[in-house]
Structure 1
Amino acid sequence: MAEVIGVRFKNVGKVYYFDPDGNQVPKGGRVIVETARGIECGECTMKNRTVDDDKIVKPLKKVVRVATPEDVARVEKNRQKEKEAFEVCEKKIAKFGLDMKLIDVEYTFDGSKILFYFTADGRVDFRELVKDLASVFRTRIELRQIGVRDESKMLGGLGVCGKPFCCSTFLGEFQPVSIKMAKEQGLSLNPSKISGTCGRLMCCLKFEQKGYEDFGKITPKPGSWVRTPDGDGVVTEANVITGKLKVNIHSDSDVRQPPQPYHRDQVTQIPRPNRDDLPPRPAAAPDSRRERPSASPRPERAPAPGAPRSEVPRSGHSRGGRNRRGKNTGRPGGQQPGKKPQ
C-alpha cells in the first residue's frame, strides 16, 4: 500500500500516480512533477489516497512542489507560444511541400522541448523540417505522428448524438472496440451508423457494453419461457435497457392472441415445459381464397372442308401414313386413307 495522488497533464488525458511527498494536494490544484519528458505542470484529479502496490507503475516519482502563481503564469505564457509555433510550423510544412496535417503543438513546462503532433497517410521524411524548426526556436524539436482517434480527441467536436466527443470530454484513454459489441447491443451493423467522426467504431460502444451485460443478466432473452400474470408464454422481443418484453401467451383458446407487453419485473423465467404439458395450439384459419377452376381441355381442331379424316394419331408419324422406319401405319392391311381396297 502506498499514498498517491492522481495527476493529469491534458484536459482529457490519462491519469498518472505520483508520491505526494507529504503534501496535501486538493482536487483541481496544480503540482510540479518530474516525468520522462522533463519537468511538467499537471492538475490533481485525485487527492491523497492509498492504493495497492500492484496498481502502481514503479518507480513512483515524487511531487517536486505545489504550483505557485509564478508557475501558473509560466504555463499560460507557454500556451501563447504554442499558438505562434503552430503558425510557424504550418508555413514550414508548406515550404517543404510535405504531405502532412499539423494538429497540435505542446511546450514542456521548462521550455526545453516543443512537440508537434501531425497526421499523415504514410511515412513522412521530415528531417529537413526538424532542422529548420530547431534553428528558429533554438530548442529540442520532436514531431510525433498520431492516428485519427487521437486527432479527434485533440480537436474535439460533436458526435452523431449531438453531444461533444466522449474521447475529448471524459474518456482518459482509448479502449478496444469490436463489432461484436454493436451486435450484442442490438444496433445496426451498418458501418456508417456505428462509426464516429474519426471513421472508427464509436467509443460509446465500449463503455456502454458493461451496462448491457449487467441488464442482460436479469432480462429474459427472446425464445425463453416466462411466467406472467396472464399465464406462461415465450418471449418474442426484449429491450435490455428499458426492460420491456413482448410475450406470446400459450392458452387453450382457438383464437391466436398477439404478443402481450410486460416489464421484466412482472415476469419470472421458468424452464421450458415438456411438449405434453403445452396446451394445443389453435388451428390455423381455413384459407378463404377461391380455388382456381381446373383447366378445361382444349376442343379438337376441326378438319378443313373436303379433307379426309384420319383415325390414326398424328404424333410421331410422317406424311403418307408412314413412320420413320418406312412402314405403312395407315389402316389395317396397309390401305391408305381415302382409297378403296382392290
Structure 2
Amino acid sequence: MSGCTNCSTDANAVGGCQNNGSCGTEDCNKMNTFDWLSHMGIPEVDKFDVVEIKFKGGRKDYFRNTNLLQLTTGDPVVVDVPNGHHIGYVSLQGELVRLQMQKRKVKNDDAITGIYRVATQKDLEKWQEAKNREIPTIYRSKQIIDEIKLAMKLSDVEYQADNSKATFYYSADDRVDFRELIKLLASEFKIRVEMRQISLRQEAGRLGGIGVCGRELCCSTWIHDFKSVTTSAARYQNLSLNPSKLSGQCGRLKCCLNFELDSYLMALKDIPKIEKPLLTEAGSAKLQKTDIFRRLMWFSYNDDNNWHSIDCDRVQAIVNQNEKGITPFSLKLDKAFEGDYDQNKTNEDLELLDKKFSQTKRKKKRKPKNRKPNPNAAQQSDAEGGSASPNKPRRNNRNQKRGNRSQNSSENSPQSQGKPESPDSKVNGNGSRNKKRKPNPNRNRGGQNKPNKGSTDDN
C-alpha cells in the first residue's frame, strides 16, 4: 500500500501516519512493498508474527510482534535496538514477510528483537528533536573531516530516537582509519558514534534524485540488491562505450543496463557471427551495423559509404557459401541477373518519413473572406424598388448615395428653375455641373511649345 493512501482522511481507509497528505515518514512511496496477500483471508491463528519495519533512507529490518499489537501499514512503532530504542514505520506484515525473509536470507531465530508499543505523541516529539540535530551535525562533521584530512565522503547522519546514538554513513575508495575521528565526534556532539561504510550506489539511493530518463532513481525507489554491471552489457546492446553516457549519478555504470540484457542475449542467438568480411564478385563486404530485433545487417563494399541491408538468413547463406569456396554475385543475388531487379527497401517507412519532413511547407494564399450582407442596405434598396447584391452591400450603398446627389443637383440646376445657364458651366449626364477651366498660357502641356512673350490670347 502506498504512503499517500495511508495518509488519507477517508473513513473507510486505513489510518497510516494520519498526517493528512504531508507524510511524516520522510520516505513516502520509497522502497514500498505491495502486500498482495492482505485480502486473501489467511487464518488469524497461523498469522506470521514478524513485522517489517522501515527506517530512514529506505533501510528495513524485521522485528517480532510479541505483544500481539493491532498494527496497520504506516503506523509508527517503538522497537528494541541494541543499547536503546528506535522508532520506525510498519511497511509489511503477514505471510509476505516470511517470503521476504527467505529472499534476504534472514533467519527466524531469537536474534530478532521485539516491538515495544505503538509510538505516542511524546515519543514522536522526542524523536523530532533528535532529527533536528542531523543537518547541523553533517556540516560540522565535514569540517572536522577536512581538518584531519581523511580521504572519505560523509553522506548522511541518522540519530536514534532516544537521542543516545548517531550513525554516520560515509563512502571511501580505500580503507580509512577513523579512530581519531570517532573521538572528535563523540566529544563534539556528546553522543555514541557508529561509522558505517556504504557503496556509491547505496549513497545515491539514500540521497535520491532524478535520472536522465526523467524519473526518480531506481536505487531510491525499488532496488534493494545491487548487482554488478559490466561494459559487456553495453556491447551486447550495441550501445556507445562512452563513460559519460553509460554512467549514472553515482559515477558507476547504470543499473538499467541489466534490465534488457536477457532479451538481447535471447535475440543474439539467431544472429550469425561475422568474424571476417563476406566475399562477393562485387567486392568484399564489411559489417557496419546490426539491428538485433529486426534481424537486419548492413554491409558496405570496400569501405564504401553506401550500406546494403540484408536479413540474417541471407548472411548465414553467404557465410556457408564462402566456407565451401563459392562466391556469390552480390549480397542479394547469387548469379548475375539481367533486367530490372526490385530490391526490398527495408527502410522504406523511414525514408518516407524523412521526405515528409524535408519538404518545405509553402505558404498558402489567403482566400478573400466573404463579407456579411448589410440587412439595412437590403431593406433600403427594396423600399426604393432596387435590388441589392448580398455580396457587395457597401458598393451599392455608395452608388445609391451618388444617385441621390445627382438627383438633387439636377433639381437645383438652372434649367429646372428657369434660370439661364452660365456659358462657363456644363451639366454632365449624371446631372453634375463642371465649370470650364480657362487655359493657362504659361503652362506647357504635353511638350507643346510655349507661346511667345509678345503673343496674346484672343480668348
TM-score, length-normalised on structure 2? 0.45
1:35 Cα offset (Å) = 3.6
SS of the residue 1:103 aligns to:
strand
Q: Distance in 1 between matches of 2:245 and 2:337?
A: 42
Q: Distance in 2 between matches of 1:97 and 1:216?
A: 47
Seq. identity, %: 36
Counterpart in the other structure of 1:131: 183
Are positions 1:188 and 2:240 aligned together?
Answer: yes
Question: 125, 143, 148: which is aligned to 2:200?
Answer: 148
Q: Map of 1:190-339 to 2, 5 A cutoff?
A: 190-206=242-258, 208-209=259-260, 213=262, 221-223=270-272, 237-239=291-293, 282-284=334-336
Are positions 1:28 and 2:74 aligned together?
Answer: yes
Letter in 1 for 2:166: I
Q: Is the 8 A contact 1:24 1:48 kept in 2?
A: no
1:105 Cα offset (Å) = 1.3
Letter in 2 for 1:9: F
For 1:278-333, what per-residue CA distance to the aligned partner results, in whole angstroms no more than 9, with x for missing partners? xx9542468xxxxxxxxxxxxxxxxxxxxxxxxxxxxxxxxxxxxxxxxxxxxxxx
Provide closer, same or farther for how the CA distance between residues 75 and 173 of structure 1 changes in structure 2, counting only shifts above 3 A: farther
Letter in 2 for 1:29: D
Are positions 1:58 and 2:108 aligned together?
Answer: yes
Q: Is the 8 A contact 1:5 1:49 kept in 2?
A: no
Higher strand share goes to which structure?
Answer: 1
Counterpart in the other structure of 1:87: 139
Question: 158, 161, 169: which is aligned to 2:213?
Answer: 161
Q: Distance in 1 between matches of 2:175 and 2:136?
A: 26
1:36 Cα offset (Å) = 4.8
Q: Is the 8 A contact 2:56 2:158 kept in 1?
A: no
Letter in 2 for 1:57: K
Q: Distance in 2 between matches of 1:223 and 1:91?
A: 59
For 1:146-191, what per-residue CA distance to the aligned partner results, in whole angstroms no more than 9, with x for missing partners? 3322332233333333333221232234223233433444433443
Counterpart in the other structure of 1:228: none
Question: 92, 112, 130: which is aligned to 1:46?
Answer: 92
Counterpart in the other structure of 1:296: none
Q: Is the 8 A contact 1:148 1:198 kept in 2?
A: yes
Q: Distance in 1 between matches of 2:138 and 2:197?
A: 15
Q: Is the 8 A contact 1:103 1:151 kept in 2?
A: yes
Are positions 1:18 and 2:63 aligned together?
Answer: yes
1:81 Cα offset (Å) = 0.9
SS of the residue 1:154 aligns to:
helix
Give the aligned length. 252
Letter in 2 for 1:39: H
Question: 217, 224, 228: which is aligned to 1:172?
Answer: 224
Q: Is the 8 A contact 2:296 2:309 kept in 1?
A: no
Counterpart in the other structure of 1:292: none
Q: Is the 8 A contact 2:154 2:171 kept in 1?
A: yes
Larger relative contact order (Cα-Cα within 8 Å, sequence gap ≥ 6)? 1
Q: Is the 8 A contact 1:237 1:247 kept in 2?
A: yes
SS of the residue 1:11 aligns to:
helix
1:204 Cα offset (Å) = 1.8
1:38 Cα offset (Å) = 4.5
Q: Distance in 2 between matches of 1:205 and 1:105?
A: 31
For 1:41-66, what per-residue CA distance to the aligned partner results, in whole angstroms no more than 9, with x for missing partners? 22222133353685542323322222
Are positions 1:9 and 2:61 aligned together?
Answer: no
Q: Distance in 2 between matches of 1:73 and 1:125?
A: 36
Q: Distance in 1 between matches of 2:120 and 2:87?
A: 10
Q: Distance in 2 between matches of 1:205 and 1:36?
A: 39
Provide closer, same or farther for how the CA distance between residues 285 and 16 of structure 1 changes in structure 2, counting only shifts above 3 A: farther
Q: Distance in 2 between matches of 1:179 and 1:220?
A: 20
Provide closer, same or farther for how the CA distance between residues 258 and 129 of structure 1 changes in structure 2, counting only shifts above 3 A: closer
Letter in 1 for 2:222: F
Q: Distance in 2 between matches of 1:247 and 1:167?
A: 36
5+ unaligned residues in a row in structure 1: which ranges? 225-235, 249-256, 261-273, 287-342
Letter in 1 for 2:107: V
5+ unaligned residues in a row in structure 2: which ranges? 1-45, 274-289, 299-307, 312-319, 322-331, 339-459
TM-score, length-normalised on structure 1? 0.58
Q: Is the 8 A contact 1:19 1:61 kept in 2?
A: yes
1:258 Cα offset (Å) = 6.3
Q: Distance in 1 between matches of 2:113 and 2:209?
A: 35
Higher helix share goes to which structure?
Answer: 2
Q: Distance in 1 between matches of 2:197 and 2:265?
A: 40
Q: Is the 8 A contact 1:33 1:64 kept in 2?
A: yes
Structure index of larger Rg: 2
Q: Distance in 1 between matches of 2:83 and 2:247?
A: 34
Provide closer, same or farther for how the CA distance between residues 281 and 91 of structure 1 changes in structure 2, counting only shifts above 3 A: closer
Q: Distance in 1 between matches of 2:177 and 2:184?
A: 13
- Root mean square deviation, CA, Å: 4.3
